[in-house]
Amino acid sequence: MSTAGARAQMPTLLRQRAWRSLRLQALAVPAYFWTVLFFLVPLGILAVYSFGQIDILTYKVHFGWTVQHYVDLGQKLYRDSIFRSLELSFGATLACLVVGLPVAYFISLQRRLLEYVLLIAVIVPFWTSFIVRTYAWIDVLSPGSPLARLATTVGLSRTGLLYNNVAVAIGIVANYLPLMVLPLYIGFKRIDPALREAARDLGAPGRRAFRRVVLPLATPGIVAGCLLVAVPATGEYVIPSILGGGKTEMFGNIVADQFLTVGDYPFGSALAVSVMALLTVFILLIRAASSSFGAEGTS
């Protein structure tokens, strides 16, 4: 008798639960809708286009299944250009890392008040407009400016600091440095200070303790910082456009050109898909490498 009552209410209970579940699923719809319609579908279209062909005269696209464009990418011309572009972005990422490590480490060593002040000082530039920060380097690097004059007198550069690779690299480092410093800082903070003292106690002072103990343990932070900078830097469009002066073409500009100027959608799509694939492989490799290295470091 006791369970009969509960069981008789089962259909209504089940219906109630089903209704509640439906309402729950409905909440996810807006996010999925936007993702599918404005992210997945466009990318899918890109992928399909990359296998199509364009008639140069009529700009009409035939959707065959050709891998010609991917093959074309292998041509020396494009291959070189892509690699140069990747060189620049990864080089800038490395520069960011080299510059960011001492800064992040220094901040992590400070007392609470100074620590927060320094952190905010590093973040605030990031809060100012991206494009304004970018074009401002034209001011700073133009041949007449104090900095450029200093560089030429010191003999650092012959062709000037502007409208070339150097300017683009400087722009990337300046704009993305906070994105590198923050994960590095967090990575350093995660390390138990007792470990550093233990290293000292066991005979590894200063720089050696840093190299053998702190740096390996900070690897997650380093990886995070590099990913946060390298991926967007690879796809940079604004910085090369403004500071590159037409001579420096990064992947972002080349691809955009194909679509907006040349009009060769299929080729541009192939280009985009290829670099995306490269980036994805790169990310996965880094992830795999860091997890095994991290395990070593903590064992």
Partner 1 sequence: MAIVTKNTIGTNLDRPPATASGHGAVTLTGVSRQYGGVTAVDNIDLDVADGEFFALLGPSGCGKSTTLRLIAGLELPDGGQIQIGGREMTNVPAHRRPVNTVFQQYALFPHLSIFENVAFGLREARVRRSEIRARVSRMLQLVDLVGRDDSKPRQLSGGMQQRVALARALVLEPRVLLLDEPLAALDRKLRRQMQESIKDIQRKVGTTFVFVTHDQDEAFSMADRVAVMNQGSVDQVGEPRRIYERPRSLFVADFVGVSNKIPARVVRANGDGSYEVSVDSLGTTRVLGVDGLAPDEDAWLVVRPESMEFRVGSTAAALSATVVDVAYMGPQVVYRAATDVAGEVHVIAPGRRSGNASPGEELSVGWQPDAGWLLPRGN
Partner 2 sequence: MTPLWMRRRRLGLALITSVVLVFLYLPIAAVLINAFNKDSTLATWGGVTGKWFGQAVSDPEIRHSFVQSTKIALATTAISVAIAICAALYWRSAGRWGRTLLDSTTFMRIALPEVVTALALFVMFRRLNITLGIWTVIAGHVMFNSAYATIVVQARVAALDRTLEDAAADLGAPPRRVFRRVVLPLLSPAVIVAALLTFTFSFDDVVTSLFLAGSGTVTLPMEIFGLVRFRVTPEVNAIGSGVMLVTLTGFTLAAVALFASGGLRRTIGRARA
Q: Tell which positions 94-113 bind partner 2, by CB under 8 A.
A: 99, 102-103, 105-107, 109
Kindly tell me which residue out of 9, 16, 35, 159 binds partner 2, with binding defined by CB under 8 A.
35
Answer with the entry of partner 2, partner 1, none that 102 interacts with (C-beta below 5 to 8 A by kind). Answer: partner 2
Rounded to an integer, what distance in angstroms lies between the CA atom of residue 238 and that of residue 279?
19
Determine contact, residues 105/188, Cβ cutoff 8 Å. yes
The answer to whether residue 153 forms part of the interface with partner 1 (CB under 8 A) is no
Answer with the entry of partner 1, partner 2, none that 2 interacts with (C-beta below 5 to 8 A by kind). Answer: partner 1
Determine contact, residues 258/267, Cβ cutoff 8 Å. yes
Among residues 277, 268, 284, the alpha carbon closest in space to that of 86 is found at 277
Kindly tell me which residue out of 2, 153, 261, 299 binds partner 1, with binding defined by CB under 8 A.
2
Rounded to an integer, what distance in angstroms lies between the CA atom of residue 140 and that of residue 155?
18
Whole-angstrom distance between the N-terminal and C-terminal Cα of the chain?
A: 60
Answer with the entry of partner 2, partner 1, none that 9 interacts with (C-beta below 5 to 8 A by kind). Answer: partner 1
Answer with the entry of partner 1, partner 2, none that 167 interacts with (C-beta below 5 to 8 A by kind). Answer: none
Is residue 12 packed enough to be buried (19+ CB in 10 Å), middle (13-18) or exposed (0-12)?
A: exposed
Determine contact, residues 229/96, Cβ cutoff 8 Å. yes
Beta carbon of residue 9, minimum distance to partner 1 (angstroms, whole number): 6
The answer to whether residue 144 forms part of the interface with partner 2 (CB under 8 A) is yes
Instruction: Indicate the residue among 2 and 128 with the shorter CB distance to partner 1.
Output: 2
The answer to whether residue 34 forms part of the interface with partner 2 (CB under 8 A) is yes
Answer with the entry of partner 1, partner 2, none that 163 interacts with (C-beta below 5 to 8 A by kind). Answer: none
Kindly tell me which residue out of 97, 236, 264, 270 binds partner 2, with binding defined by CB under 8 A.
236
Instruction: Indicate the residue among 83 and 130 with the shorter CB distance to partner 2.
Output: 130
The answer to whether residue 24 forms part of the interface with partner 2 (CB under 8 A) is yes
Rounded to an integer, what distance in angstroms lies between the CA atom of residue 222 and that of residue 2?
62
Q: How many residues does the chain have?
A: 299
Beta carbon of residue 21, minimum distance to partner 1 (angstroms, whole number): 15
Rounded to an integer, what distance in angstroms lies between the CA atom of residue 253 and that of residue 247?
11
* CA distance to 12, 47, 68, 72, 238, per residue, from 75 (Å): 67, 20, 11, 5, 27
Answer with the entry of partner 1, partner 2, none that 49 interacts with (C-beta below 5 to 8 A by kind). Answer: partner 2
- Count of residues touching partner 2 (by CB under 8 A): 81
Q: Which of residues 10-29 bind partner 1 (CB under 8 A)?
A: 13
Instruction: Indicate the residue among 124 and 156 with the shorter CB distance to partner 2.
Output: 124
- Binding segment toward partner 1, per CB under 8 A, in 2-10, 45-53, 223-231, 273-281: 2-10
Rounded to an integer, what distance in angstroms lies between the CA atom of residue 130 and that of residue 203?
46
Determine contact, residues 268/255, Cβ cutoff 8 Å. yes
Q: Interface residues with partner 1 (CB under 8 A)?
A: 2-3, 5-6, 9, 13
